[in-house]
Amino acid sequence: MIETEVIIEKDIFATLSCPEQEGTLPAILLIAGSGPIDRNGNGPKGKYQTNLYKELAHFFTALGFITLRYDKRGTGKRSGSWMDAGLSDLLHDAKAAVSFLQAQQNVSDVIVCGHSEGTILATDIAAKMEVDGCMLLSGGVDNLMEALGHQRKQAYKELLAMPGWKGWLNRKMKIDEKNEKKTEKMFRKMKESSSDTIRIQGIKQPAKWFREHDAYHTREALQHVTCPVFALHGDKDPLVESSVLEELSGLVQGESEYHIVKDMEHGLRGQTEPKSILETKKLMKIVLERPLHEEGMQLMAAWLERFLSSGHKSI
């Protein structure tokens, strides 16, 4: 494998990974999830070192694909602020990366592969650009507001089910109803704002990001997707609602398949511990010591190998 740092447009620092074989090859663009995570999937100042996108890139390249992963605004070598960026800014960068790949003489086809929030970007690209495949990892079908709503419901369920006095107090105080009112108030302030960020109770919030995601309809975009689509969830992922993947085949115009993998969490690693959104940070420290989930990787490899054997244009 040969890795090269490239710069897309003026300041999008990225890593291009190529198999050592010569000739034209299909390429995969990796699109990261939300928050200040760089091209490798790592947070700032040594926090949350997942290396998820680096590991995926190396895995895909070993299968015979060129891969490209890039720094989001305000991460890695990139200037700017990740919190100031809205969905439109994220899409601009991702589409610039697609155009970069399509302009390479050794690239025959381009697959967009989004993880978490990146599945929304990958969906929009597949709907509006000429790409050859779309992979949705730990996300898909729902828009961001729907996903956040699911996450809150999961948190309330766990809070109200707590044993002993903690659960009793949460139920007595109707913590779910109170928190929903606070959340609705916060969302309303961000929607009514025209600024990129605003402060709510002293905490900086990404207002532009929320507004643009709130206005985006993922299901409508999926109806314009004609390339093959692959979706993958883990049954230990508390951040997504996997049942929505059942809608996929009725939305996209081309072929699609989805899988829900047993004992796999949001970051595509193995998790035998119970699913819990309240224990996400605690579980992450444990899970990050583990390799990417074997069955999940095998399912991705099988889909991509069919892509290769089909002449790239259709699975």
pTM (two decimals): 0.93
Domain residue spans of the chain: 2-143+216-309, 148-209
Give the pLDDT confidence score for residue 74 in this predicted structure: 93
In the chain, which residues have pLDDT < 70?
311-315
Give the pLDDT confidence score for residue 313 in this predicted structure: 44
DSSP strand pairing (133-137 vs 229-234): parallel
Side-chain-facing half-sphere of 135: CA atoms under 13 Å: 26
CA gap 297, 234 in Å, rounded: 12
Strand-pair partners of 204: 199
Give the pLDDT confidence score for residue 231 in this predicted structure: 97
- State the SS3 of the chain: CEEEEEEECCCEEEEEEECCCCCCEEEEEEECCCCCCCCCCECHHHCCECCHHHHHHHHHHHCCCEEEEECCCCCCCCCCCCCCCCHHHHHHHHHHHHHHHHCCCCEEEEEEEEECCHHHHHHHHHHHCCCCEEEEECCCCCCHHHHHHHHHHHHHHHHHCCCHHHHHHHHHCCHHHHHHHHHHHHHHHHHHCCCCCEEECCEEECHHHHHHHHCCCHHHHHCCCCCCEEEEEECCCCCCCHHHHHHHHHHCCCCEEEEEECCECCCCEECCCCCCCCCHHHHHHHHCCCCECHHHHHHHHHHHHHHHHCCCCCC
Name the architecture of domain 2-143+216-309: 3-Layer(aba) Sandwich (3.40)
Interacting residues of 13 by C-beta distance below 8 A, sequence separation 6+: 5, 6, 7, 39, 70, 71, 76, 77, 78
